[in-house]
Amino acid sequence: MKVVLIQHIQGYGRRGEVKEVKDGYALNHLIPKKLAVQATVKNVQKYSKLVEKEKVQKQTMQEQPTVLAKKLRGISLDFSEKADENGNFFAGVTKDKIAKALVKKGLAVKSKQVKLEEAIKKEGSYNVQVEVSSGVISEIKVLTKVIV
């Protein structure tokens, strides 16, 4: 009997593959445990489409971090903060402020991805790293100035 595997079976085959098995094995083990279905034309098409769709999704998930990292490289954020007479900002520019500014620009970044040891408290230009995913790090430019 020919069956289409619904799940990966260690040492036997991967999901979506068509296998020739003994009738008893298919009817008593694979089909009742929902590990396989009978290989009709409809089932073969259905599971081959699902496998193809999963491959495309997996490839897209792998490409997304690098695309986001490329977009971040060209980003420059401007912040204006109130400061005391010594030029120290009262509130400072924090991870949260940077992440919110990036989200406003349409980039999905969380504050924990912004690698900033402490809030920026002085006027100037800073390079701030953003960890898009594990191993993929990009850098943005943060410009700060004092509001008079």
Query: Is residue 68 one of the residues assigned to a domain?
Result: no
pLDDT score, position 61: 63
Residues 105 and 58 occupy one common structural domain? no
Any idea what DSSP says for residue 28?
A: I
Residues 58 and 92 occupy one common structural domain? no
In DSSP terms, which residues pair with 142 in a beta bridge?
77, 126
**Number of structural domains the chain divides into:** 2
Single-letter code of the amino acid located at 106: G
Query: Is residue 133 one of the residues assigned to a domain?
Result: yes
Length of the chain: 148
- Whether the CA torsion 104, 71, 145, 93 is positive or negative: it is positive
CATH number for the domain spanning 90: value is: 3.10.430.100
pLDDT score, position 62: 61
Residues 143 and 80 occupy one common structural domain? yes
Query: Is residue 15 one of the residues assigned to a domain?
Result: yes
pLDDT score, position 147: 85
Q: For 64-83, how does the pLDDT look when each residue is reduced to its tens digit (9 = 90+)?
A: 777 888 888 888 999 999 99
Residues 56 and 107 occupy one common structural domain? no
Higher-scoring residue by pLDDT: 51, 22 = 22
Query: What totals of helices (H) and strands (E) does the chain contain, helices first?
Result: 3, 7
pLDDT score, position 122: 92
Cα gap 90→71, rounded to integer Å: 31
Query: Is residue 131 one of the residues assigned to a domain?
Result: yes
Q: Which domain holds residue 8?
A: 2-62
**Are the C-beta atoms of residues 3 and 15 closer than 8 Å to each other?**
no
Query: Is residue 67 one of the residues assigned to a domain?
Result: no
Cα gap 127→23, rounded to integer Å: 65
On the question of pLDDT at 63 being above 70, the answer is no
Rg of the chain over all Cα atoms, to the nearest angstrom? 27
Close Cβ partners of 144 (under 8 Å, ≥ 6 residues apart): 78, 79, 80, 81, 89, 93, 120, 122, 123, 124, 125, 126
